Amino acid sequence: MNKEKLHTFIAKEVIEKFNHKRLEALRSLDIIDVLRRKNPYLFQAKSLSTPEEIVRAIIDAFLSSHEETIFGDLLENLSVYVCGEVFGGIKLPKIQQGNPDILFTRDDIIYYVEIKSGPHWGNSSQIAKLRLTFERIRKELLEDKQDLSKYRFVNGCIYGKINSEQVDNENNLRSYAKICGQAFWDLISGSNSFYLDIIDPLTKETEKKEYEYIEEYNSSIIKASLIFSDHFVENNKVNWNKIVKLTSENKQPN
């Protein structure tokens, strides 16, 4: 994998897009709307007492969940790009019946790979859907009189340590291997150290964007704290009754 091309892709398609979405989330954040969906008792249990402390906790929790989803999606895109560059992998179209993310050939073996951020990515129905997808593809291959021994079906994960865990019996049409972290990046790049190779460009590009993000983050904290104070501070104290009513009070019938 060409290091310059890898760095350019990470800069433009991962970090730049990640930073844009983070800033977008901060600028559009409605503190009252976010608070409405939070557990107010948790903030009390954590002894948060000032508007800034409460607002910072709310925003940090919101951003953490939001950013994990965004960054996971962007790293999945990176893995598709890398596989395309190294093995000519193609991104499969999304269809109603379900499709894995990428299809590629390595060492005369054809791989169908479903990419997820981490190893614990889905509930039972989502995992069942993946199994049905792999079963459908195998049946289609059998109908075309293909030799299934030349095909591998994989759930690949960006991070984690699970490696080559066979889900179900290998003769089951729904079975697949679960390959995570170092082993996953090795599978799609051909390099055992690739999972480490992406650290340097990620770090360098993140540092370039961090100042802009911190400025916007601090501005959002100040703005949200003022709004919070207008709604929930009385006599220089946080009115917890108002907060709990916002999140939990039954609507009164007209």
Q: Would 144 be classed as within a structural domain?
A: yes
pLDDT at residue 168, as a whole number: 59
Q: Tell me the pTM.
A: 0.85
pLDDT in tens, 114-129: 999 999 888 999 999 9
Note the pLDDT of residue 166: 67
Quick check: is 232 in a domain? no
Residue 163, domain member (yes or no): yes
pLDDT score at 238? 92
**Would you state the pLDDT for residue 169?**
60
8 occurs within a structural domain = yes
Give the pLDDT confidence score for residue 141 in this predicted structure: 95
Domain that holds residue 52: 3-204
CA dihedral (55, 56, 58, 60) in degrees, to 10, reads 160
Q: What is the pLDDT of residue 155?
A: 96
Assess if residue 252 is contained within a domain: no
Q: How many domains does the chain have?
A: 1
Q: Which residues have CB under 8 Å from 86's CB, separation 6+?
A: 1, 188, 189, 190
221 in any annotated domain: no
Residue 229 within any structural domain of the chain: no
The pLDDT score that the predictor gives to residue 122 is 84
Residue 117 within a domain = yes
Q: Which residue stretches of the chain have pLDDT < 70?
A: 165-171, 253-254
pLDDT at residue 239, as a whole number: 94
Instruction: Tell me the residue ranges of DSSP E strands in the chain.
Output: 90-91, 102-106, 109-116, 151-157, 165-167, 176-180, 233-234, 237-238
